[in-house]
């Protein structure tokens, strides 16, 4: 049983990953991808601050790409200084001059605008400035020193403590931004977001007086920024470089965004999409579940009713499939009715459509039980037919009920989505229609993945419970070759 559960769980995870790949490919073929420069599924050379700095320095030496390399160095900022200034003395005089001037635009955001003006002559920054800067601040560019500076600033967000963070520039973002996400103190969040906004040169301050919605929006925008730009400021080493083969790809980033709740179009929109799905999908699932229960109950009731009055040993003689024909008229008849009548019509249409499938599976189970030796024995001992069928085989009937959920619930959800769209019931069907009309991949991705996860979990749970209830399936066969 344990091996079976592990095997089924692994297959479910694999199936979900395959489905996620299909959804990812379809949504990225339609929507424009902001990460078009990275590979789709495997990234053999994931970029980090070191590789980006090396590329920028190489571009800086070539005249056609000089401006692009200088811009990249400014964007990477202080995170690149430990890599550049430790080898500054080994550079040629011309290279030092180019690098020094390229890094000059960083100084105002580091709080060193006066130093920039003092050390600039004829439009170029004296390279000796960076030599003296590193002699004075090299110790600040360490994890221990950064942690202490950040601790002091969060306790006492004074201008002096803020300057300690500004002087390390983007080197400190790897600690500052995650703290913005985790802190619950609005004053600390305000101070940290103010510093991060200045360093990243973007408007992202979250005031202490911000409302709950404004805080969520601000944090979501910082999460979106960090997902897109964190490779500019951090090293990828050891085991992380191995996982980066997948995580630093389009699919890896999409999967990370999806499981963190960002379903597309930015993290705040992802939060809004989650809210819409959370409001509408439960209505659809409740309607579908109720339809499944009514379809199974009515099919069992009809089966035992006709068993008493006809030759029940001739399966397939009842034309129950004709019931499905009434689904469409049922929806169309109440299309313009009131709220209760439209909801009742949607439920009834789903029951009509599901009833034949439930009846046929129950009928096949009944035929199997009537031919079971245990049933014959019970009848020979004087038990009534119904008592022998119900009390003697209740685990089989419970297994049948659970197994019916696997095909019927997804089908019921599909019917409910169509009914909600036609009858304007405001469930997930309306959300799907709006997503299709607006080409909104975020909503479609969220609905598909949530339903897929739900149905796979249901299938896994049913398999495990049925295997436990049915002794014929519970005992695993011994390995081949054993006595």
Instruction: Tokens for 236, please give them.
Output: 């990828």
pLDDT-derived band at 207, boundaries 50, 70, 90: very high
Which residues, 6+ apart, have CB-to-CB distance to 147 below 8 Å? Answer: 175
Q: What is the reported pLDDT for 481?
A: 42
- Average pLDDT (113-137) is 88
Residue of higher predicted confidence among 320 and 412: 412
C-alpha pair distances (Å), 350 with each of 70, 216, 367: 64, 39, 26
Which residues, 6+ apart, have CB-to-CB distance to 417 below 8 Å? Answer: 284, 427, 428, 429, 432
Residue of higher predicted confidence among 7 and 80: 80
Q: What angle do CA 146, 81, 189 make, to 5 degrees?
A: 40
- Average pLDDT (165-187) is 92
pLDDT-derived band at 483, boundaries 50, 70, 90: very low
Q: What is the reported pLDDT for 44?
A: 82
6 CB neighbour count, 10 Å cutoff: 10
- In DSSP notation, 222-279 reads HHHHHHHHGGGT----THHHHHHHHHTSHHHHHHHHHHTT--SS-HHHHHHHHHHHHH
Q: Which residues lie across from 125 on neighbouring strands? A: 120
Asked if residue 288 lies in contact with residue 409, where contact means CB atoms within 8 angstroms, the answer is: yes
| pTM (two decimals) | 0.64
Closest by CA position to 27, among listed 265, 198, 240: 265
What does the DSSP 8-state code read for residue 476?
P
Q: What is the reported pLDDT for 152?
A: 94
Q: Tell me the domains of the chain and their CATH numbers.
A: 49-139 (no CATH), 142-235 (no CATH), 270-474 (1.10.3720.10)
- Average pLDDT (64-70) is 88
Residue of higher predicted confidence among 324 and 252: 252
Residue of higher predicted confidence among 400 and 47: 47
Asked if residue 419 lies in contact with residue 425, where contact means CB atoms within 8 angstroms, the answer is: yes
Closest by CA position to 163, among listed 137, 131, 190, 132: 137
Choice among 185-189, 278-282, 308-312, 376-380 with the minimum mean pLDDT: 308-312
C-alpha pair distances (Å), 167 with each of 79, 103, 177, 275: 11, 13, 16, 41
Residue of higher predicted confidence among 466 and 451: 451
- 32 pLDDT above the threshold of 90: no
C-alpha pair distances (Å), 336 with each of 111, 325, 331: 67, 20, 10
Q: What is the reported pLDDT for 469?
A: 67
Q: What angle do CA 462, 465, 469 make, to 5 degrees?
A: 130
Residue of higher predicted confidence among 224 and 378: 224
Instruction: Tokens for 128, please give them.
Output: 């000796």
CA–CA dist 401, 296 (Å, integer): 7
Most confident range, picked from 82-96, 191-205, 459-473? 191-205
Most confident range, picked from 50-54, 455-459, 478-482? 50-54
Closest by CA position to 83, among listed 132, 34, 35, 50: 50
pLDDT-derived band at 164, boundaries 50, 70, 90: very high
91-105 pLDDT per residue, tens: 888 888 989 999 999
3-state secondary structure of 335: coil
- 176 pLDDT above the threshold of 90: yes
Instruction: Tokens for 171, please give them.
Output: 């080197």
Report phi then psi at 245, rounded to 5.
-55, -30
């Amino acid at each position: 049983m344990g091996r079976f559960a592990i095997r089924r769980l692994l297959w479910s995870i694999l199936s979900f990953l395959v489905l996620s790949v299909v959804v990812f490919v379809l949504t990225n073929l339609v929507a424009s991808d902001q990460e078009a420069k990275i590979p789709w599924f495997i990234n053999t050379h994931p970029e980090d601050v070191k590789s980006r700095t090396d590329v920028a320095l190489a571009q800086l030496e070539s005249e056609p790409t000089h401006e692009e390399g200088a811009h990249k160095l400014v964007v990477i900022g202080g995170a690149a200084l430990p890599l550049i200034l430790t080898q500054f003395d080994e550079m040629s005089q011309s290279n030092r001059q180019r690098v020094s001037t390229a890094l000059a635009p960083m100084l105002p955001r580091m709080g060193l605008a006066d130093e920039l003006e003092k050390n600039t002559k004829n439009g170029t920054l004296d390279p000796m400035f960076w030599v003296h800067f590193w002699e004075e601040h090299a110790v600040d560019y360490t994890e221990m020193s950064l942690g202490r500076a950040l601790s002091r600033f969060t306790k006492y967000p004074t201008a002096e403590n803020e300057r300690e963070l500004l002087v390390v520039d983007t080197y400190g973002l790897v600690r500052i931004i995650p703290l913005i996400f985790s802190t619950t103190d609005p004053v600390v969040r305000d101070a940290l977001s103010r510093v991060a906004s200045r360093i990243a040169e973007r408007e992202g301050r979250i005031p202490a007086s911000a409302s709950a919605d404004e805080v969520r929006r601000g944090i979501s925008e910082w999460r979106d920024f960090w997902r897109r730009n964190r490779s500019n400021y951090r090293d990828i080493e050891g085991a992380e470089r191995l996982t980066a083969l997948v995580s630093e790809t389009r699919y890896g980033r999409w999967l990370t965004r999806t499981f963190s709740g960002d379903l597309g179009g930015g993290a705040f929109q992802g939060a809004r999409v989650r809210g819409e799905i959370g409001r509408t999908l439960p209505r659809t699932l409740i309607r579908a579940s109720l339809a499944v229960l009514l379809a199974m109950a009515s099919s069992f009731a009809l089966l035992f009713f006709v068993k008493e009055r006809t030759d029940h040993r001739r399966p397939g003689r009842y034309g129950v499939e004709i019931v499905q024909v009434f689904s469409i008229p049922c929806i169309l008849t109440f299309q313009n009715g009131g709220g209760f009548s439209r909801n009742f019509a949607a439920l009834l249409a789903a029951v009509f459509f599901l009833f034949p499938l439930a009846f046929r599976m129950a009928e096949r189970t009944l035929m199997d039980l009537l031919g079971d030796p245990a049933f014959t024995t019970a009848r020979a001992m004087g038990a009534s037919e119904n008592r022998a069928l119900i009390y003697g085989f209740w685990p089989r009937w419970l297994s049948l009920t659970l197994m019916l959920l696997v095909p019927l619930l997804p089908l019921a959800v599909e019917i409910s989505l169509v009914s909600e769209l036609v009858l304007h019931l405001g469930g997930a069907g309306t959300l799907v229609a709006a997503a299709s009309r607006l080409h909104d991949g975020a909503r479609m991705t969220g609905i598909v993945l949530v339903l897929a996860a739900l149905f796979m979990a249901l299938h896994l749970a049913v398999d495990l419970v049925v295997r436990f209830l049915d002794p014929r399936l519970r005992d695993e066969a011994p390995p081949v070759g054993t006595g």
